[in-house]
Amino acid sequence: MAKKAKKADAQANVLPTQEILKKLFDLGYFGAKSWVDVQSLKGLQLIKAIKAFQAFHGLPTTGVVGPKTANNINKRRCGLPDFNITAANSAPCKWPMGSITYFHQMTLPGLTDAQVKEAYDIAFSQWAKVCDIAPVRVDGPTRANIYAKSGVGKANNLDDRGGTLAWSELPCGVAENVQLDQMFDEAEAWSFNMAVAVICHELGHALGLPHLGNGNLMAPYYDPNVTAPQKGDVKEIVKLYGKRTQPYAITQDASLQVGGTIVINGRPYVLVPKT
Ligand SMILES: [Zn+2]
């Protein structure tokens, strides 16, 4: 009887077992196991991993990859795994200072360079508005704590259009002079809102946050309706850097042609020229 049930489950998976294993392996569901070991997993161990994935993503924990779970597995998302992104580091995963410098050299198809710059500044300021950090844009990569680039394909730990959108390194045990890398996918068609959302998510990692549950900005999937830190995100970032005590104004270089106000998620953002 049990044997029969197991067989029925295996047949119900709408994706090939190897594809499921590879995805869940990439997303951290098999912990420290190597891909060689994971490849041969089946039966209960596979079901357990599928259930863990479903639980993390708020899906019914059936242990079977039906159309809904398959859709989740293949959704546009961050390239970092769901688990174990900070577990290997016993040192605190945060910057020791509040003044964090950043520089980006990236092309996001669909956006102008000025729009990318605006999106990046707005994304960072959304964190600075809720916790006690002071991001500083610098004019070259040398002094930047966070260096964001764009690229395509496997060499950059990215893929074709869809799937992985971006990734970021985490500041686990870093000193003030350390530089973290971020990578954004040039194979995607970017909108301004998508850029703000994805950059803000990756900056969450660069500030030390792991992935959080559904509804948060730090959920692994891109949700067009979530472009700024949500309640759960704010709670976690405040644990790392403390609450913001003074208002934080978005600063821009005066040389950048900005239209005064940008509306994101129905909220106006005033762009203040740097003095
Ligand atoms: Zn992520």
- Best-predicted range by mean pLDDT among 1-15, 33-47, 210-224? 210-224
pLDDT at res. 55: 87
Domain that holds residue 200: 101-273
Considering the domain architecture, whether residues 49 and 129 belong to the same structural domain is answered as no
Considering the domain architecture, whether residues 108 and 225 belong to the same structural domain is answered as yes
DSSP, collapsed to helix, strand or coil, labels residue 221 as strand
- Cα of 164 to ligand 1 centre, how many Å? 10
Residue 218 included in any domain: yes
**pLDDT tens for each residue of 230-266:** 999 999 999 999 998 877 765 544 333 344 455 444 4
Q: Among 57, 74, 91, which residue terminates a domain?
A: 74
Q: Would you state the structure tokens that stand for residue 257, as one six-digit string? A: 């042609």
pLDDT at res. 196: 96
Does residue 209 surpass a pLDDT of 50? yes
Q: Among 11, 39, 74, which residue terminates a domain?
A: 74
Residues 160, 185, 225, 170, Cα dihedral to 10°: 120
Considering the domain architecture, whether residues 43 and 144 belong to the same structural domain is answered as no
What average pLDDT score do residues 34-54 get? 88
Residue 84 included in any domain: no
- Cα of 51 to ligand 1 centre, how many Å? 20
Q: What is the mean pLDDT of the chain?
A: 84
What average pLDDT score do residues 22-27 get? 86
- Cα of 211 to ligand 1 centre, how many Å? 6
pLDDT at res. 11: 58
- Cα of 118 to ligand 1 centre, how many Å? 21
Contact indicator for 70, 14 with CB cutoff of 8 Å: yes
Residue 187 included in any domain: yes
- Cα of 16 to ligand 1 centre, how many Å? 25
Q: Number of structural domains, the chain? A: 2
**pLDDT tens for each residue of 143-175:** 899 999 999 998 888 888 888 999 999 998 899
- Cα of 80 to ligand 1 centre, how many Å? 5
Does residue 107 surpass a pLDDT of 60? yes
Residue 164 pairs in a beta bridge with 77
Considering the domain architecture, whether residues 139 and 245 belong to the same structural domain is answered as yes
Instruction: Give the residue, 253 or 44, on which the prediction is more confident.
Output: 44
- Cα of 22 to ligand 1 centre, how many Å? 18
- Cα of 145 to ligand 1 centre, how many Å? 18
Q: E strand or H helix at 43, and its extent?
A: helix 43-56
Considering the domain architecture, whether residues 53 and 108 belong to the same structural domain is answered as no
Residue 233 included in any domain: yes
pLDDT at res. 8: 47
56 HSE (CA, 13 A, CB side):
21
pLDDT at res. 41: 85
- Please report, for the domain that includes residue 233, its CATH number: 3.40.390.10
- Cα of 254 to ligand 1 centre, how many Å? 32
pLDDT at res. 250: 59
Residue 18 included in any domain: yes
Considering the domain architecture, whether residues 118 and 215 belong to the same structural domain is answered as yes
DSSP state letter for 225: T
Kindly list the distances between the CA atom of residue 117 and the CA atoms of 30, 63, 134, 148, 249, in Å, as whole numbers in the listed order: 38, 43, 17, 11, 16
Considering the domain architecture, whether residues 107 and 153 belong to the same structural domain is answered as yes
Considering the domain architecture, whether residues 160 and 195 belong to the same structural domain is answered as yes
- Cα of 131 to ligand 1 centre, how many Å? 19
- Cα of 220 to ligand 1 centre, how many Å? 5
Considering the domain architecture, whether residues 151 and 18 belong to the same structural domain is answered as no
pLDDT at res. 92: 80
Listed as own residue / partner, the contacts of 208-212 with beta carbons closer than 8 Å and 24 or more positions apart are: 208/86, 208/92, 208/93, 208/94, 208/95, 208/170, 208/171, 208/172, 208/240, 209/233, 209/236, 209/237, 209/240, 210/85, 210/86, 210/93, 210/170, 211/78, 211/80, 211/81, 211/82, 211/83, 211/85, 212/236
pLDDT at res. 259: 41
| Percentage of residues in the chain having pLDDT higher than 90 | 51
Q: Would you state the structure tokens that stand for residue 143, as one six-digit string? A: 């002094």
Residue 93 included in any domain: no
Residue 96 included in any domain: no
What average pLDDT score do residues 225-230 get? 96
Residue 259 included in any domain: yes
121 HSE (CA, 13 A, CB side):
24
Q: Return the number of other C-beta atoms located less than 10 Å from residue 48's C-beta.
A: 14
Q: Would you state the structure tokens that stand for residue 243, as one six-digit string? A: 């609450």
pLDDT at res. 12: 83
- Cα of 46 to ligand 1 centre, how many Å? 24
- Cα of 137 to ligand 1 centre, how many Å? 22
Helix extents (H) in 157-270: 192-207, 231-241
Considering the domain architecture, whether residues 40 and 112 belong to the same structural domain is answered as no
pLDDT at res. 258: 40
- Cα of 2 to ligand 1 centre, how many Å? 38
- Cα of 124 to ligand 1 centre, how many Å? 15
Considering the domain architecture, whether residues 137 and 201 belong to the same structural domain is answered as yes
pLDDT at res. 119: 96
Considering the domain architecture, whether residues 106 and 58 belong to the same structural domain is answered as no
**pLDDT tens for each residue of 86-98:** 545 566 889 999 9
Q: Please report the sign of the dihedral spanned by the C-alpha atoms of residue 214, residue 152, residue 253, residue 177.
A: positive
Amino acid identity at 15: L
pLDDT at res. 251: 53
- Cα of 218 to ligand 1 centre, how many Å? 6
- Please report, for the domain that includes residue 66, its CATH number: 1.10.101
